[in-house]
Amino acid sequence: MSHVLLLEPNTILAATYQAAFTAHGFTAVAVSGAQNGIHAIDARQPDVIVLELQLPSHNGVEFLHELRSYPEWHDIPVVVHTSLTPVQTESYVSILHDALGVRAVLYKHGTSLAELVNAVKAQLAMV
């Protein structure tokens, strides 16, 4: 059973995503911040991470820099699922892909729950 780590500060969305992944046969843990995400990975390494870029305290890009600083976590697939718009992220999307190993960038306003689950499944199929 594949394990998904959700970094989502909105508790209602986090619970919704967690339920959707569980319904599709995943185990899923939701945390609200970058430091909690690092602790969750220490406790159980996920098969894929779903990341909101707008996190409290440290943002998602800072989380990715820390994540990728650990060699054993370098290959964990990351799907960004953010409330930012494409215009707000256009200046650093290439950095997310090229330097930080993000596999997909999805925007909440244009992505259904089924599309999010399918994006995660697609990343797991590539591993």
pLDDT in tens, 37-77: 999 999 999 999 999 999 988 899 999 999 999 999 999 99
CATH numeric code, 3-126:
3.40.50.2300
Q: How far apart are the first and last CA of the chain?
A: 14
Domain positions in the chain are: 3-126
Tokens for 65, please give them: 């820099």
Predicted confidence (pLDDT) at residue 79 exceeds the cutoff of 90 = yes
Predicted confidence (pLDDT) at residue 82 exceeds the cutoff of 90 = yes
What pLDDT score does 127 carry?
A: 59
List, for residues 101-127, the tens digit of each pLDDT value: 899 999 999 999 999 999 999 998 875
Alpha-carbon torsion 59, 62, 66, 67, what sign?
A: positive
User: How confident is residue 8, by pLDDT bands cut at 50, 70 and 90?
Assistant: very high
| Contacts for 75 with CB less than 8 Å, ≥ 6 apart | 101, 127
